[in-house]
């Protein structure tokens, strides 16, 4: 049974923790506005680029299609590009991404395919290494920059495209969180390489469009940009998801700390009152004995 001093020290400790979680919640809320605006601003560009590629990809097929679009002709070797955060204290965000990556790996392995992981961010490395120690490949460290941007996406895309050109994998899947709100960040799994042919014919419909230079040359330029754009969008979504999850987690931690402080305060007051009552009884009993 803790003493009054121990209870008082514990109340002070929880109050200090509550101040920290409250401060982090406010910081995350401030960062969330910027991160959410950046993520939402990047989505229209990616959608428009997909529409342009749909129009071009429908006109290119067979041997004339670039390798990034046509693929290697096989889907045996799969690379899972997993985008996690570099910092913790963001609830179950990273564990949900890791869970989605493990589920995708299990699905591919059950089909008799080879799986390798390419890890972006620090927090997903340990759990994946514990379960798939032989399947961890390269990783990209984003912790050295304050906010990862297009430069980091460009570097990741360049490395992945070089690996694809060297026939180190056949298919790459991108696994990252998609920000919906501060309460909801859903893991998303999309094929990244070879670039999937978008459905439909884009915004052009049946209109006759002449491209200069030809479709093949334009696709040669657009396909790497498309990969970079997808990775850049994933990094933006990750930042918004991290701040949203962090704000929610810190809000819950602050509330839980408040509840714990109330319980400890009640316990402290009861113990203190009991001690005072005991002292009064002893004083009264001593006076009556005299």
Q: Is 208 a catalytic residue?
A: no
| Cβ within 8 Å of residue 106, ≥6 positions away | none
Distance set, CA 146 to CA 87, 110, 138, 142, 250 (Å)? 12, 39, 22, 8, 21
d(CA 123, CA 118) in angstroms, rounded, equals: 13
| Cβ within 8 Å of residue 198, ≥6 positions away | 50, 51, 53, 54, 57
What is the C-alpha R_g of the chain? Answer: 28
Could you please report the per-residue DSSP string of 136-181?
EEEEE--TTSSS--HHHHHHHHHHHHHHHHTTS-SEEEEEEEEE-S
Q: Which of 90, 227, 240, 253 is catalytic?
A: 90
The CA-based angle 100-48-63, given to 5 degrees, is 80
Give burial (CB, 10 Å; 0-12/13-18/19+) of 235. Answer: buried
Residues in the chain: 290
| Cβ within 8 Å of residue 149, ≥6 positions away | 232, 235
Catalytic residues: 90
């Amino acid at each position: 049974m803790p003493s009054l001093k121990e209870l008082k020290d514990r109340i002070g400790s929880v109050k200090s923790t509550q101040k920290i979680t409250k401060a982090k919640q406010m910081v995350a809320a401030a960062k969330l506005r910027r991160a959410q605006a950046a993520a939402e601003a990047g989505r229209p560009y990616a959608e428009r680029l997909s529409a342009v590629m749909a129009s071009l990809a429908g006109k290119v097929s067979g041997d004339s299609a670039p390798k990034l679009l046509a693929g290697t002709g096989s889907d045996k070797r799969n690379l899972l590009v997993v985008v996690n955060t570099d910092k913790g204290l963001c609830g179950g965000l990273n564990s949900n991404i890791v869970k989605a990556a493990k589920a995708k790996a299990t699905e591919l392995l059950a089909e008799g395919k080879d799986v390798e992981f390419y890890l972006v961010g620090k927090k997903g490395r340990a759990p994946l290494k514990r379960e798939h120690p032989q399947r961890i490949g390269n990783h990209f460290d984003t912790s050295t920059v304050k906010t990862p941007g297009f430069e980091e996406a460009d570097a990741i895309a360049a490395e992945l495209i070089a690996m694809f050109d060297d026939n180190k994998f056949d298919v790459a899947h991108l696994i990252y969180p998609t920000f919906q709100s501060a309460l909801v960040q859903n893991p998303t799994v999309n094929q990244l390489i070879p670039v999937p042919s978008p459905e439909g014919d884009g915004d052009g419909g049946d209109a006759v469009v002449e491209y200069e230079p030809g479709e093949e040359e334009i696709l040669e330029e657009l396909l790497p940009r498309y990969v970079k754009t997808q990775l850049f969008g994933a990094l933006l979504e990750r930042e918004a998801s991290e701040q949203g999850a962090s704000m929610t987690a810190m809000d819950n931690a602050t509330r839980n700390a408040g509840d714990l402080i109330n319980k400890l305060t009640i316990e402290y007051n009861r113990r203190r009152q009991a001690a005072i009552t005991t002292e009064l009884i002893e004083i009264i009993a001593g006076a009556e004995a005299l």
